Structures are given as structure tokens and as C-alpha cells.
Amino acid sequence: MEKTETAEAIEIKAARWVARLDRAGDDPVARADVGHALEAWLGDDVRRRGAYFRAASAWAMLDRASILGRAASGAKDDAFSGGDSSWQEWDDDQFDDEYRRYDQMQVSEVVRPSISRRAAFRWGGGALAASLVAGVTGSAVLGPGTKRDNTGGEVIATRIGEIRRVPLVDGSLASVNTQSQIIVEYKPKERKVALAKGEAWFRVAKNPDRPFVVEAGDVRARAVGTAFSVRKTDEGVTVQVTEGRVAVWRVGDEDNVDYVDAGSRAFVAAVLPQTKISEDPPAINRSLAWRQGELAFDGDTLGEAAQEFNRYNRVQIRIDDPALASEKLVGRFRTDEPDAFARAASTTLDADVQFVGGEIRLYRR
């Protein structure tokens, strides 16, 4: 460890590590090489982990903030957003949607740099590091909703209505849904995430030597490099795979491992021994719309939709009529707009809506 290393020097080096990992792209060999070296660097000084988290969080938001800043000024060029120019086809509504999604991430510091990732690379690592360090004046990951447990694991929690997108040390990404909590712990042979409650989606950085395992009660989901979500409820645990393949099993029954492929979900009931696997890519995409701050329905009942909205809002939707609650609907809505949903539902289902105190009541006309 460099005994004389200043906090500022650590911040700058942390930003350079983030840039190196990003430059590795999707190349598993390059990412593994950078990842191993990064872990060694992080282990030499306890201050480095926090610095890396701050830089990684700023980096994760850099493209989005750059798009928003240029959209507001009317500037457009191909240099930013990693060369992806699809944003140039967006209309004003799409830019507004992007802003709302960015705003909903609940990051403690909003970073709005005037340069892109690619432009920053042309400047060189030093300028990039300086821009990142200057843009972050607090902990975006080790801040509100994040702490350490008594084992040293990172505890990441969300409040009602909050959705967090958190870059992890190994290069993976975690999106944590409303009222959820995960505990991240890295071991020599394993990357472990305990889902204490709620739901989270993970894009896992490839590392065959250290599998990524999510624990939800007595259910385990293991991946090497893929993308999947895990949701824990009183009824059981649901694992949904959006990329690659995930192994799912129950503790004590390791001989019976189920493999879940992209576009499929596995439900492990709390009281039944078997695992139910079903394939339905459109349904999985709808169920994960929360990552963009939305809820999507297609044939869901009004009662089921109301329950979903109630997960995200203190203002609760109440439906006393069982027949009305069983009516089916289709639509896509923002998680933080239960009033707009209720009005749309009342029009579609020929119902009345009342706003009383902290409740939204729907009933037959």
C-alpha cells in the first residue's frame, strides 16, 4: 500500500480503473484481466473501495447525463454515448422519458458533464479522472440506502418508490426495485448477493472462476455472465432470465438443479418442493418494466395492477368490489402516477374514481 497516497490521488486512480474496465467492453478475457488487477488494487487500502464506488456510479450515469445536457442545449453529434447515435431519432417526449428515468434512479449526486465517454478518452485518462472526481462531491453508492453489515458486506436498500441502479466492484450492475434490500459480499471463489427482501435485476460480469450467486431464503440462483432478476415474496422466489442461462436450486436439494434460459422464468414455491419453469419473453419484459420506472400490463386484472402500484406509492389504490377487481386491462404507466392509472382504468372499465385522503378508490358506477 502507498502510505503517502492522498485521498485525491485515490479518487483519480479509482476513476482511471473505471475507465479501464469500460474500455474492456464485452471481451471476457479483457474484463477478467482488468477485474483481477482491480481487486488487487482495492484490497491494498480500505479507502479505495469507496472511491471506486463513487467513480463507478458517476460513470454509470455519464452517458445519460451527457445526452440530457446536449438535448437541453440542442447540440447533437456522434461522439458521445459511445458512438451510439440512435438517440438522434428521439422526439421531445422520448427525451422527457429519458430524463424521468434518470431522475428516478435516486442517485445522491446528479452528474451532468459537458463531455462524453468517447470524448473523454480522446483527452486521456487524467482528464477523464479529473472530470469524474470533480463531478462527484459525495457518495452516490455508499450514500443513502447503502451501508455495511456486520460481516463487511455492502447493504443496498431502497425505500418505497425508489429504484436504484448500482455498479458493483466486479463490473456487474444491480438494479434494485422498490422496498428491497441486497447484501453484496465477494469471496475468493464466489461473488455472493443475498436478497433479503424485494426484487433486484443483475447484469453479471463474466468470470468463470468466481460464479455470481444470489441467495433468496433457501433458494439459490447461480450465473457466470448473464442477466437475470430475482424476486422474493411470501409465496416463493421467482427467477427471470433476460440473457444467458441461470442455475436454480434449493438448499439441501443440490442434486436437483434446474437450468433457466433467456426468456424463461422459474418459480420456487415456499411450501412446495418442485420448481415451475415457463417460457414467456414478452411477459418477462413487461414484469421488468420497473427498471425504467414503469409498470406494464397485458391481461392482468385491475386488482393485480393495483397491488403493483401500491408497492411503489404511499397513496394506495383500493378496490372493494371483487367483480371490478377481476376486470382485465392493458396498458403501460409510470410507477409514480397511481392517479393517472386510476383515471385511465375508470374510463376503460366504466368505473368511478375518488381521491380521499391517502387513498384512491375505484368502484362501479
Give the CATH number, domain containing residue 343. Answer: 3.55.50.30
Is residue 232 located within the same domain as residue 264?
A: yes
Q: Per-residue confidence at 328, pLDDT binned at 50, 70, 90?
A: very high
Task: Looking at the structure, tell me whether residues 260 and 161 fall in a common domain.
Answer: yes
- Ranked by mean pLDDT, the top range of 40-54, 71-85, 228-242 is 228-242
Residue 141 lies in a domain: no
For residues 16 and 40, state if they share a domain: yes
Clarify whether residues 130 and 164 are in a common domain: no
The backbone torsions φ and ψ at residue 102, rounded to the nearest 5 degrees and listed phi first, read -65, -45
The terminus-to-terminus CA distance of the chain in angstroms comes to: 72
Q: Is residue 137's pLDDT more than 90?
A: no
Domain with 161 in it: 146-284
Residue 140 lies in a domain: no
CA–CA gap between residue 64 and residue 104 (Å, rounded): 13
Strand intervals (E) in the chain: 146-148, 154-157, 164-167, 173-176, 181-187, 190-203, 212-216, 219-223, 227-232, 236-243, 245-250, 258-261, 264-269, 275-279, 294-301, 316-319, 328-334, 351-356, 359-364
In a domain, 1, yes or no: no
For the stretch 342-364, pLDDT in tens is 999 999 999 999 999 889 999 99
Average of per-residue pLDDT values in the chain:
77
Q: Which of 288, 354, 351, 286 is nearest to 315 (CA)?
A: 354
Q: Give the per-residue pLDDT at 50.
A: 72
Confidence of residue 129 (pLDDT cuts 50, 70, 90): very low
**Cell numbers representing residue 133 in the block:** 472526481
Tell me, yes or no, whether 280 and 300 share the same domain: no
Q: Read off the pLDDT of residues 210-255 as tens digits, 9 standing for 90 and up.
A: 999 999 999 999 997 799 999 999 999 999 999 999 999 999 888 8
What is the reported pTM? Answer: 0.63
CATH of residue 161: 2.60.120.1440
236 vs 160, 244, 270, 277, 337, CA distance in Å? 21, 23, 4, 13, 28
Give the end of a domain, one of 284, 307, 333. 284
Q: Is residue 20 part of a domain?
A: yes
Give the pLDDT of residue 60: 57
In a domain, 245, yes or no: yes
Q: Are residues 323 and 246 in the same domain?
A: no
Most confident of 37-41, 46-50, 54-58, 185-189: 185-189
Q: Is the pLDDT of residue 76 over 70?
A: no
d(CA 169, CA 167): 7
Check whether residue 297 and residue 280 sit in a common domain.
no
How many separate domains does the chain show? 3
Q: Which pLDDT score is estimated for 84?
A: 39
What is the per-residue pLDDT for 152?
Answer: 62
Q: Which of 284, 303, 336 is the last residue of a domain?
A: 284
32 and 93 fall within a common domain: yes
pLDDT in tens, 19-35: 787 777 666 777 777 88
Greater pLDDT, 210 or 128? 210
